[in-house]
C-alpha cells in the first residue's frame, strides 16, 4: 500500500529505502498551480537516527508493515532483552538500546506490546501506568506526614522516584511510565 506525501502527518509510520520511519514533525508548503512540498522530520525505527526529508509534488511512499504483538518480558543481560510471544511461545531478543529507560518500568513476567518489522523487534510499548513495589525508603519523621513532603523510594526494578512521606517499604505504588513520576498508592 502506498501513501501520498500529504498523508505524512505526525506519528505516521512509513517505509523508505527498506527502513521504517516515524514522522516526528510535519509541515506543508503549497506552491503555485496546486503543487506542494512537504518537509518532515523522521526517526528511524531501526537505529533511532533523526533525519529531515523533503518530498515534492505527487510522490508516493510505501507504508511500513509493522505488526503489534503481545509479549512477555523474560529477562535481560548486558546487551539484550528477551521476550516471548504470548501466542506462539517464540522467543525474540532486542538490543537494550532499543528500550532505553523503559527497562526501569518492567520486571520479569510483565506483558508489553512489541512492534515488529520483518520479524525484528523495533519498539516496545509499555502501559501508561505500572504497579511497582517499594523495596527501600526512609521512615517518616513523626509529625511530618503532610502529602506535600516528598522523599525518595527505590523500587523493585532499581528505579528511584519521589513519593509522599506516607509511603512505606513494601507498599505498591503506581508509576507513570512516560514521566517516571509517582501517581498513587495501589489499592489493596
Report the 10 Å Cβ neighbour count for 132.
22
**Whole-angstrom distance, CA of residue 103 vs CA of residue 97:** 10
Final residue in a domain of this structure, among 78, 107, 125? 125
Mean pLDDT value of segment 111-136: 90
Final residue in a domain of this structure, among 63, 78, 99? 63
Strands 66-76 and 111-117: antiparallel
16 and 58 fall within a common domain: yes
The continuous run of DSSP H or E covering 110 comes out as: none
HSE, CB side, 13 Å, CA atoms: give it for residue 109: 2
139 and 115 fall within a common domain: no
Beginning with the edge strand found earlier in the chain, give each strand of the sheet holding 66-76 in spatial order: 91-95, 80-85, 66-76, 111-117, 120-125
73 and 44 fall within a common domain: no
Final residue in a domain of this structure, among 74, 109, 125? 125
3-state secondary structure 11-34: CCEEEECCEEEEEEEEEEEECHHH
CATH number of the domain enclosing 31: 2.30.30.30
The continuous run of DSSP H or E covering 90 comes out as: none
pLDDT in tens, 73-116: 999 888 899 999 989 999 999 888 777 788 899 999 999 999 89
139 and 119 fall within a common domain: no
76 and 99 fall within a common domain: yes
104 and 143 fall within a common domain: no
CATH number of the domain enclosing 162: 2.40.50.140
pLDDT higher at 97 or 180: 180
Answering whether pTM is above 0.75, one says no
150 and 117 fall within a common domain: no
Instruction: Specify the 3-state DSSP secondary structure of 159.
Output: coil
42 and 83 fall within a common domain: no
User: Can you give the pLDDT at residue 63?
Assistant: 87
| Number of domains forming the structure of the chain | 3
**Is residue 93 within 8 Å of residue 85, measured between CB atoms?**
no
Provide the residue range defining the domain that includes 94.
66-125
User: Can you give the pLDDT at residue 144?
Assistant: 59
The continuous run of DSSP H or E covering 99 comes out as: helix 96-99
Encode 22-38: b = buried (16+ Cβ within 10 Å), e = exposed.
bbeebeeeeeeeeeeeb
Mean pLDDT of the chain: 86
User: Can you give the pLDDT at residue 145?
Assistant: 55
112 and 155 fall within a common domain: no
Amino acid at each position: 500500500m502506498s501513501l501520498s506525501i500529504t498523508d505524512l502527518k505526525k506519528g505516521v509510520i512509513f517505509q523508505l529505502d527498506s527502513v521504517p520511519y516515524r514522522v516526528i514533525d510535519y509541515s506543508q508548503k503549497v506552491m503555485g498551480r496546486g503543487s506542494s512540498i512537504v518537509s518532515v522530520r523522521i526517526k528511524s525505527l531501526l537505529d533511532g537516527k533523526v533525519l529531515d526529508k523533503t518530498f515534492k509534488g505527487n510522490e508516493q511512499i510505501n507504508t511500513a508493515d509493522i505488526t503489534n504483538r503481545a509479549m512477555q518480558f523474560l529477562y535481560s543481560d548486558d546487551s539484550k532483552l528477551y521476550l516471548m510471544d504470548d501466542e506462539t511461545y517464540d522467543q525474540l531478543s532486542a538490543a537494550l538500546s532499543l528500550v532505553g529507560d523503559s527497562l526501569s518500568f518492567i520486571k520479569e513476567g510483565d506483558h508489553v506490546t512489541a512492534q515488529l518489522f520483518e520479524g525484528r523487534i523495533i519498539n516496545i510499548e509499555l502501559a501508561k501506568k505500572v504497579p511497582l513495589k517499594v523495596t527501600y525508603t526512609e521512615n517518616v519523621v513523626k509529625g511530618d506526614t503532610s502529602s506535600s513532603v516528598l522523599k525518595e523510594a527505590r523500587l523493585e526494578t532499581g528505579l528511584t522516584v519521589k513519593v509522599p512521606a506516607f509511603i512505606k517499604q513494601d507498599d505498591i505504588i503506581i508509576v507513570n511510565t512516560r514521566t517516571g513520576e509517582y501517581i498513587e498508592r495501589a489499592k489493596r
